[in-house]
Structure 1
């Protein structure tokens, strides 16, 4: 395997001296004394790079030995591509249930998505260096791990550049998920800002907002209301049962995937978490929409007031 042209590690306010390990292995290390977020860290790494292709990898991801060669070959064979993204593999590093579920679900989502991508992915994404700087790099207003890579992908699409999801470019995710960390990341750092980004730019979300997902959100909320109503009117349990069967039918491919990968009992445990995913995803859509239009109202309100005073 040919080695990468250079390896650059950006230590974004690290406190464990892990940058020393990277330095010992010959990587070029850039250190930030305070944590500024992945967008700024990646931009600094890109500015220090001299190669034609920038290949971004998250700190909690490991790569397979042939990945550099394969990424390079794709850009040589497909000169029309400006960027490519990969996927998590189906053997996550953390053994606990929630980490296995979340990382496998991410793998499933990418493996069943269209190869013509509308977003970039910072955990495993490569982009031509000149294109990266032509669109301005990552938006550094995102100070936490959020949707800075998704936002970059939307700008690439607007500028007419092509992004390809290469399903055979796989990396291993080592992140440990707990209920608190998952909900904080999924709801506050991704879902809410993603909704606002879609409303702001009219962007397309081909990964999470398909027709089945939208129907599932409606079904989950209707199921919740039916279960609450059944406390007073037991006949609503029939409605709840019908909605549960509808949800199972809509998401049968997902549950079949988990059954094939981890067995029956694992797939059974996935179901309530998956329905909960639709629950907080739907809530994020509502709250994100309200927040977006409220911010728009506050932005335009002074102009409206001034115009009223002028007319008087």
Structure 2
């Protein structure tokens, strides 16, 4: 089996680590365990060190994605496991995910069911993300935002520059793997109730979730988002022109505006598609 590193981003997760780290040591005793302390104000770093983990401490909070990037750079294993430090993810699931990875996949994501979602609104949002990502990629996406995943380290590091410092690293990394034709699999996992207080804020993160929707599209194929939008503008313009021609016998400025918007949106999509292609281009 390939050498293994486990990365746990943690912000004020001392209590969660007291439960997670002993279970990790028992399940994968030879793995490198890295706890990235994202500016905690509790005993997160001390608890991680107490249980023998490698501790990376940030002087202030940089975000979950930033912690993931720091941990990925420090990981020495050929395979990296990313999981939460709050007790939601069961270390006993790691062998199951690793076994799936050995079947030829480059990333295996622990897929939560509806009961594993953090509330009805989060479950509904994630269901929509999964549907949209499935439509965009042509592959069934069972859990786009799960933070419990196993990846091949060399392939994951190719996309570190794309990952945001905030919470949407799972979305970005998954879509990047699909775009680069790296094989992604989903494995059902149970999810326990988190220990401690969630760092997600509904009002602030509502905007973040909206941005994720656009990120899903732009990370994979922008034209799949912009082309239908351009067609919609064109059809509305055509319908409005037909209406004004029949009722007024003329071609109005509104029709010109709608037709122009259709052309502009399509051209933006075309340019975005070229930029995306350059982003994922790998030099031989």
Q: Given the alignment of the two structures, is residue 190 of structure 1 paired with residue 209 of structure 2, yes or no?
A: yes
TM value normalised by structure 2: 0.56
Query: Would you say the 8 A contact 2:37–2:57 is kept in 1?
Result: yes
1:84 to 89, 98, 108: 108
Q: Given the alignment of the two structures, is residue 32 of structure 1 paired with residue 58 of structure 2, yes or no?
A: yes
Residue in structure 2 matched with residue 170 of structure 1 by the alignment: 190
Deviates more, 1:40-49 or 1:83-92: 83-92
Residue deviations 1:45-89 (CA, integer Å, cap 9, x gap): 11221222111112334322521221221122x12x110111336
Whole-Å separation in 2 of the counterparts to 1:177 and 1:37: 13
SS in 2 for 1:170: coil
Whole-Å separation in 2 of the counterparts to 1:197 and 1:177: 24
Whole-Å separation in 1 of the counterparts to 2:113 and 2:220: 31
Query: Would you say the 8 A contact 1:83–1:126 is kept in 2?
Result: yes
Q: Number of aligned residue pairs: give it.
A: 197
Whole-Å separation in 1 of the counterparts to 2:65 and 2:192: 21
Whole-Å separation in 2 of the counterparts to 1:83 and 1:191: 25
Deviates more, 1:81-90 or 1:49-58: 81-90
Whole-Å separation in 2 of the counterparts to 1:200 and 1:111: 15
Residue in structure 2 matched with residue 156 of structure 1 by the alignment: 177
Q: 1:11 to 1:82 in 2, by over 3 A?
A: same
Q: Which runs of 4+ in 1 moved over 3 A?
A: 88-93, 102-122, 175-178
Query: Would you say the 8 A contact 1:86–1:124 is kept in 2?
Result: yes
Whole-Å separation in 2 of the counterparts to 1:132 and 1:105: 28
SS in 2 for 1:198: helix
Q: 1:89 to 1:59 in 2, by over 3 A?
A: farther
1:181 to 173, 195, 201: 201
TM value normalised by structure 1: 0.52
Whole-Å separation in 1 of the counterparts to 2:28 and 2:192: 19
Tell me the CA shift for residue 102 of structure 1: 4.2
1:64 to 76, 90, 111: 90
